[in-house]
Amino acid sequence: MEKIRVLMAVLGLDQHEVGAISVSRALRDAGMEVIYLGRFNLPPKILKTALEEDVDIIGLSCHSWEFLYYISDLVQLLKDHNAKIPIIVGGSLLTHKDIKLLLEKGVAAAFGASTPAEEIIRHIKSIVENQ
Amino acid sequence: MTEWQTQSRIPLKHFYTNEDVRNLDYQESLSDPGSFPFTRGRRLDLHPGAAWIQRELSGEGDPLTSNAQFKYLLAMGQTGLDVIGDTPSVGLIDPDHPFAKYTVGNQGVSICCLQDYRDLHKDIPLDKITISYSLPASFAAAGLYLIAQENGISPSKLRGSVIQGPLYGEDCGYAVHLPISLRLRMSSNCVEFCSKEMPKYHHFVEDTYYFSEAGLDSIEEMALGFVEIRCIIRDLLNRGVNIDSFAPRIAILINCRMDFFEEIAKVRATRRLFSRMIKEEYGAKDPRSWAVVITCHTSGLSLTAQQPVNNIVRGAIESLALAIAGVQAIEISAFDEAYRTPSPESHFIALRTQQIIQSESNVTKVMDPLGGSYYVEALTDEIEKRIWEMVLKIEAMGDPAHLSEKGIFRSIFTNAMERYAKEIKEKKLLKVGVNIYEIPEEKDTLLKEVAERKIEPYLDRIEKIKEFKKSRDQKKLKQVLEGCYQKAKDKDENLMYPIIKATEGGGTMGEIAGVMRMAYGFDYDPYGMIKSPI
């Protein structure tokens, strides 16, 4: 099987990056290929990179409430471009309600505080396989 | 910790004896509070209980909303103010920038122009209340300087503080997209300006809190803090500034985690290290230069999203350690910290915690009550030794400004975060509600709703700033921004003067930072979305 390609990004002005770096390392150690976009991204840039890099999944690290707004924009953009790339979201500030809301908005999976890396890896594999 | 060690991994014995303090010489290592090397306290205070400033983190919405928060906190007995800017403000971009939209006012106060400083400080007696700003230092000092003058208060009477963080901000949540040479110059210029114009103002706060929240331990926190202090001091001395003109106004804003004795020992070790360094290495002669002010935020990282009510207890334990250590100001990270800037409910609890420690516990009647404890003295010595070793090790690697550019510090922060997560995962560091004594999510309801309440972005504010920008005298604006650009090109100029002039002339933080960025050969807008006004 080919390596799973993951685009990892932080949204908007959110400056917290350690989560994204840490998860990226774990994914790489698990044999995935991570295209690391870093901080300061708006949805159009994420879409553009995802298409150019032909990724299997988009991972967003959120430690500011900006995700509440940008995720809807990104989901819509992907639809407009007929790009069926699943999105997963992680961040220590995600509450139970946030996770529910994100799933309703069309996110494939969302993870709150203290989620083990193995669980994220397991979810990514199953989401990509079922694509 | 489940292992027999401190949170900074210093090995511990089961008990300590006089053998552990064999080399301790009272005069040499401790001395009385207020005497060199200040291990036991910054000054001999005859009313120690009343000495620390109690302040909780504020800043929300537009400046007038935050002003109302100030008044609420002062009315409850708070003795100082502590305000943080929202994400765009601390990142030096204006609220009308396309990137700022969803972060305006929901994680701090949105502030960018002179009118904002007027609104934020409305009815606040600037010569009596101290305000600690977590905002870009040069701009906060300029804003305060201007409104003090407008209100007929001499800037020489202003108290309060600003944070200088040229080395680590870019990697730890305060990226301003300015080159390190400009960041360092702005720090030095601000310190030099305030030393002359606002001599009572603490213009040089070394904030070890925010960068150590990445998961650094106490040793790493203070070592990096000293590296930054020394880097700025060297820059000032190279500019011909006299050490005693600014050293009395250096303060360190530290972090306080849950390892009770280690944090107390850290404060004591820091006071001793600082006084020896400033006197013996930098030749400070004024005794006021030797005794560093230490203020503190209790650790947000030590708090948990699970069972938020437990965070109230954590705040109480951490602030008790600080009261015993004898710090000059305390801010307790509120129980909802894991999710948001403090709610009125969490403000109330945090402030009352401080007041109860001060008024009811009697711990503050005697200064440095742990002085002479075999354990605490041995730990103080060990921490001091380890901090200093790390400072020398980092400095041996090269100029800290270059290390910052090379990403050396960034890797320290990232590794620390991963180490912290691993310690929790492997239960080396116990966290009630996270890896021990957990309860099912559906039963975890106590104070959860308050903690999880979100603040909407202040979208109205964006329109207001757009209107303001249109209403300005464009010719004058262009002139003052050109002035900033030109002065920034000349490395011998003190940037505080053009910043003050530009702020007075209607310039905003984003615009002034942008033209200075251009003067250093970079794009006006780091996000490449808006055009320069000059």
Residues A1-20 have pLDDT tens digits of: 689 999 999 999 998 887 89
Instruction: Judge: A15–B414 Cβ closer than 8 Å, yes or no.
Output: no
Residues (pLDDT < 50) of chain B are none
Instruction: Judge: B338–A65 Cβ closer than 8 Å, yes or no.
Output: no
Q: Does B103 touch chain A (CB under 8 A)?
A: yes
Cis peptide before B37 (omega within 30 of 0): yes
Any idea what the Cα angle at residue B422 is, between residues A107 and A24, rounded to 5°? Answer: 40
Longest alpha-carbon distance in chain A: 37
Give dist(CA B502, CA B113) in Å, integer.
10
Nearest CA in chain B to A96: B441
Phi and psi dihedrals of B241, rounded to 5? -85, 135
Closest Cα of chain B to A79: distance in Å? Answer: 22
Which chain B positions have a beta carbon within 8 Å of A114's beta carbon? 306, 424, 434
Is residue B174 within 8 A of residue B210, CB to CB? The reply is yes
Instruction: Judge: B173–A16 Cβ closer than 8 Å, yes or no.
Output: yes
Q: For residue B442, which amino acid is it? A: E
Instruction: Judge: B87–A64 Cβ closer than 8 Å, yes or no.
Output: yes
Print the SS3 string covering B103-122: HCCCCCECCCCHHHHHHHCC
Instruction: Judge: B106–A65 Cβ closer than 8 Å, yes or no.
Output: yes
Q: Shortest CB distance from A116 goes to which of B174, B304, B425?
A: B425
Instruction: Judge: B102–A96 Cβ closer than 8 Å, yes or no.
Output: no
Give dist(CA B66, CA B458) in Å, integer.
12
Nearest CA in chain B to A112: B305
Which chain B positions have a beta carbon within 8 Å of A24's beta carbon? none
Which chain B positions have a beta carbon within 8 Å of A68's beta carbon? 102, 454
Q: How confident is the model at residue A28 (pLDDT cuts 50, 70, 90)?
A: very high
List the single best residue of A16, A22, A65 to mutate versus B (max B Cβ within 10 A).
Answer: A65
Structure confidence at residue B50 (pLDDT) = 61
- The residues on A that touch B, with CB distances below 8 Å, are 12-16, 18, 21-22, 25, 39-40, 42, 64-66, 68-70, 92-93, 95-97, 112-114, 116
Q: Does B7 touch chain A (CB under 8 A)?
A: no
Which chain B positions have a beta carbon within 8 Å of A15's beta carbon? 87, 91, 172-175
Q: Does B87 touch chain A (CB under 8 A)?
A: yes
Exposure string for B28-61, b = 16+ CB within 10 A, e = fewer = ebbbbbebbbbbbbbbebeebbebbbbbbbbbbb
Nearest CA in chain A to B100: A13
Is residue A59 within 8 A of residue B455, CB to CB? The reply is no
Closest Cα of chain A to B193: distance in Å? Answer: 30
Q: Shortest CB distance from A66 goes to which of B102, B417, B418?
A: B102
**Burial label, B494 (beta-carbon count in 10 A; 0-12, 13-18, 19+):** middle
Which chain A positions have a beta carbon within 8 Å of B100's beta carbon? 13
Place of tokens 């002085």: B371
Exposure string for B440-474, b = 16+ CB within 10 A, e = fewer = eeeebeebbebbbeebebbeebbebbeebbeebee
Q: Does B414 touch chain A (CB under 8 A)?
A: yes
Give the residue among A65, A64, A66, A111 at the shortest CA–CA distance from A87: A111
Which chain B positions have a beta carbon within 8 Å of A97's beta carbon? 452
Q: What is the mean pLDDT of chain A?
A: 94
Q: For residue B267, which amino acid is it? A: V
Give dist(CA B82, CA B354) in Å, integer.
15
Instruction: Judge: B99–A12 Cβ closer than 8 Å, yes or no.
Output: yes
Q: Does B305 touch chain A (CB under 8 A)?
A: yes
Q: pTM, whole model, 2 decimals?
A: 0.96
Closest Cα of chain B to A125: distance in Å? Answer: 22
**What does the block give as tokens for B288?**
């006021």
Residues A32-50 have pLDDT tens digits of: 999 999 999 999 999 999 9
**What does the block give as tokens for B50?**
């009343």
Is residue A8 within 8 A of residue A61, CB to CB? The reply is yes
* Alpha-carbon distance values, B134 to B72, B391, B524 (Å): 19, 25, 24
Q: What are the CB-based long-range contacts (under 8 Å, 24+) for B419-424?
A: B419/B215, B420/B215, B420/B301, B421/A22, B421/B215, B424/A114
Q: Shortest CB distance from B417 goes to which of A22, A42, A66?
A: A22
Is residue B474 within 8 A of residue B113, CB to CB? The reply is no
Q: Shortest CB distance from B107 goes to which of A39, A64, A113?
A: A64
Instruction: Judge: B107–A68 Cβ closer than 8 Å, yes or no.
Output: no
Q: For residue B227, which amino acid is it? A: V
Instruction: Judge: A13–B414 Cβ closer than 8 Å, yes or no.
Output: no
Give dist(CA B312, CA B437) in Å, integer.
17
Structure confidence at residue B322 (pLDDT) = 97
**What does the block give as tokens for A49?**
């990179």
Q: Supply the DSSP symbol for B530.
A: S
For residue A60, pLDDT beyond 80: yes
Is residue B68 within 8 A of residue B92, CB to CB? The reply is no
Beta strands in B43-185 (DSSP E): 53-54, 57-58, 81-84, 131-134, 161-163
Nearest CA in chain A to B444: A96
3-state class (DSSP) for residue A52: helix
**What does the block give as tokens for A76?**
């819509």
Give dist(CA B381, CA B388) in Å, integer.
11
Measured N-to-C along each axis, helices B180-197 and B496-504 cross at an angle, to the nearest 10 degrees, of 80
ipTM exceeding 0.90, yes/no: yes
Give the residue among B515, B516, B514 at the shortest CA–CA distance from B527: B514
**What does the block give as tokens for B521?**
């050969």
Residues A70-94 have pLDDT tens digits of: 999 999 999 999 999 999 999 988 9
Give the residue among B36, B40, B132, B55 at the shortest CA–CA distance from B353: B55
